[in-house]
Amino acid sequence: MNLDNITILVKFFLAIGIFWLILASDNPVMAQSLKDTLLLQPVQIIGKKVPKDFNETRTEIDSMALAKSSMVRLSELLSQNTPIFIKEYGRGAMATASFRGTAPSHTKVTWNGLELNSPMLGMVDFSLIPVYFTDDVKLLHGSSSMSESAGALGGTILLENSADWNNTLSGKLLSGIGSYQTLDEYAQFNVGNRKFQSKSAFFYNASQNDFKFLNKLNAELDPLTGNYIYHTDRNKNADYLNYGFLQEIYFQAGSNQSFSLKTWLQHNERSIPQLLTNESDASANINRQTENALRSVAEWKRFGPHSRLSVQSALNLQNSAYRLENRVSGAPNQVVIDADAKILSLLNKLSYRYQLNNLTTLVTGLDANLHKVVSGNHQSSAQLTGYNKIRTENSLFGELESKFNLNWSAVFLLREELINFKHQALLPLLRISYRPNPDKPLVLTGSIAGNSHPPTLNDLYYIPGGNPNLKSEKGRQIDLGSKSDFPAGNHRLHTGISLFYSNVNNWIIWLPTFQGYWEPKNIEKVVSSGVEANVGLNGNFRSIRYDLKGNYAFTRTVNLSENDPAYGKQLPYIPKNSANLNLHLSYSQVYFDWMWNYYSKRFTTTANSQETISDYLYPYFMNNLQVGSTFPVGTNKLTAECKVLNIFNEDYRTVLQRPMPGRNFQFVLRYDF
């Protein structure tokens, strides 16, 4: 490690030292000691929440949707319940998000405060996050994410786990079997009391993933008719295996302090099938990708009569490997690529909330994060095969929340961003909320904010192709929205609509070069604008309970760089229109779910050409059904469920040359105790 790296590490640990100096201080304003207060029996700690008027543009996936999606990946949950477009490279393969028409690296994902975005790629693979391992999923749209961090030009997805302080002993077991030799197993065991809670969970997911599909990119020409003959292929070398363990510990120290520790271990491995245009046999281009991850978050909270202090420290370790080889008859396999990457992230966060009076709250916070990446290709003949880099990221923010009267409220936030202790951006946010009638559930909001997203380490240093001259993306975001919630007897109607506009300078995009590899470059100007709308209707109709939810998004993300051949064109793989609809019906112990998705045409090139079948992806509709019933077993319950996915056997793609399965099935048994 050279002298510069040592200097950076010293500065980083000095920043951490500030955390513990603040923590150790006995400042009465910070701690709000309760030494003179008579303590009663231990009670559940509930922090004061910000008034609903401050809740910006957000989507909360309800507990029922989480329960019925417990055995799916996060990518499926989001595509079925939110306006986010999920780009899947195949069943069980990488899945990335486009939030409000932005790039995958513009969507931040946090798990109990720990950011899951890779410092190498900047993105998150949603196919590797099991819904089993989270209790709550929230989306912060656009500038609403500034309260969590900068850089999320599209938005932030919050995954949270929590304790049930009323629990003494409980758990659940799930077992599923599906098409293509797919197995799903999940177990959770919870034990505790009013002062201590422990939650232990394990999951296992594996599949041969060898579905059949009609290959329309590799055809023969019939010499008699002149028509193309398409062959049915099998998705070979596409198996995957995932398993993991999650341990959560919660402890309440008296009535004003709490501590939690959450540790998540996971192993993933999968083969990557050949492209649809590949005409070589099954012994060529054998791909295998593996990843091991350890994530751990410790959090301490202290509550005062008017304050809340929170300190978090987190560790994120990821070791990944990729191997490409060809099988040679009678000889050892020929290894083409043998690459690996080791990522170490240390993340620390301090936040302090103080309620000045009933109408005004002050929030301040500090983030001190360090990332170290070592990557390389052991089979490369080039002298330079990877990179070894350390980067620190620090953020300091202050936020003032004020409710002027029953109608008007506002939030002002200012955030300072530093990389390697050098100033990057000073980012403001102003949000105003208006409630026309305090007795009516209608809220109007408007916000304007600045945002900044730095290049990832791969953007800067990847070999070949990394561009150390890249500039940080700078954005200006405007949001206007309204939401309402109206009860009507046994029914309730919820509606929400949001208009957004984002002007991003120096947008980073990877494009092919004449040298035969891809390289990132800055696009002068990209504008993303559109509308998001959601509606929900639920209630009872005689003995039937119903819940209907829908989302729609119109997104226009265009290149507005002067003198660029792609001027005015929609960016690749971003649909202009997307929608989903979910209907849940239940009668006695029987329930029925219908899930519908729609995505419009997506271009595969910046030119938006439509000359060949490879220039764009057809729009598609997706329909899934789920039927189940619950049976009492003493004081416990057993649930049996059947799922039919892609009911109408739709032939679709979300990424060019990556097939998706037709109609398939899954059967699930769940036991709750």
Helix (H, G, I), strand (E, B) or coil at 68: helix
Instruction: Tell me the pLDDT tens digit for each residue of 335-361.
Output: 888 899 999 999 999 999 999 999 999
Which pLDDT score, from 0 to 100, does residue 44 have? 39
pLDDT mean over 118-142: 93
- Name the nearest CA neighbour of 480 among 496, 499, 463: 499
Q: Is the pLDDT of residue 627 over 70?
A: yes
Which pLDDT score, from 0 to 100, does residue 10 have? 44
Domain membership of residue 49 (yes or no) is no
**Are the beta carbons of 525 and 560 closer than 8 angstroms?**
yes
Strands 442-453, 473-488: pairing is antiparallel
* Rg of the chain over all Cα atoms, to the nearest angstrom: 26
Which pLDDT score, from 0 to 100, does residue 384 have? 60
Domain membership of residue 39 (yes or no) is no
- Name the nearest CA neighbour of 235 among 282, 289, 268, 283: 282
Q: Is the pLDDT of residue 442 over 70?
A: yes
- Name the nearest CA neighbour of 174 among 629, 645, 640: 640
Q: Which residue in the block uniquely carries the two structure tokens 């990335």?
A: 96
pLDDT mean over 182-209: 96
- In the chain, what percentage of residues exceed pLDDT 90? 70
**Are the beta carbons of 412 and 371 closer than 8 angstroms?**
no
pLDDT mean over 418-423: 95
If one counts the domains in the chain, the total is 1
Which pLDDT score, from 0 to 100, does residue 439 have? 87
Quick one: tokens of 95? Answer: 């899945």
Domain membership of residue 40 (yes or no) is no
- Name the nearest CA neighbour of 257 among 21, 45, 49: 45
Band of residue 383 on the pLDDT scale cut at 50, 70, 90: low
Domain membership of residue 114 (yes or no) is yes
Domain membership of residue 91 (yes or no) is yes
Least confident of 271-275, 418-422, 512-516: 512-516
Sign of CA pseudo-dihedral 46, 51, 57, 60: positive
Quick one: tokens of 621? Answer: 């509709």
Which pLDDT score, from 0 to 100, does residue 382 have? 55
Q: Which helix (H) or strand (E) holds 14?
A: helix 3-24
Domain membership of residue 48 (yes or no) is no
Domain membership of residue 424 (yes or no) is yes
Domain containing 162 — which CATH number? 2.40.170.20
Q: How far apart are the first and last CA of the chain?
A: 53
pLDDT mean over 2-21: 46
Which pLDDT score, from 0 to 100, does residue 55 have? 54
Q: Say what the alpha-carbon torsion angle 64, 70, 72, 76 is, to the nearest 10 degrees.
A: 30
pLDDT mean over 543-553: 94
Strands 182-192, 136-141: pairing is unpaired
Q: Is the pLDDT of residue 392 over 50?
A: yes
Least confident of 11-25, 36-50, 370-384, 577-591: 36-50
Instruction: Tell me the pLDDT tens digit for each residue of 297-326.
Output: 999 999 999 999 999 999 999 999 999 888
What is the pTM assigned to this prediction?
A: 0.89
Average pLDDT, the chain: 88
* DSSP string for residues in 252-291: EETTTEEEEEEEEEEEEEEEEPPPTT--S-TTS-EEEEEE
Q: Which residues contact 207 (CB under 8 A, 6 or more apart)?
A: 91, 92, 178, 180, 181, 182, 183, 239, 240
Least confident of 66-80, 229-243, 545-559, 635-649: 66-80
Select the more confidently predicted residue: 2 or 403. Answer: 403
pLDDT mean over 60-78: 85
Report how far residue 134's alpha carbon sits from residue 482's, in angstroms, rounded to the nearest whole number. 29
Helix (H, G, I), strand (E, B) or coil at 447: strand
- Name the nearest CA neighbour of 173 among 192, 136, 200, 198: 200
Quick one: tokens of 294? Answer: 């350890």
pLDDT mean over 66-78: 86
Domain membership of residue 536 (yes or no) is yes
Could you tell me the residue range of the domain that residue 258 belongs to? 3-32+54-672
Strands 155-160, 107-111: pairing is parallel
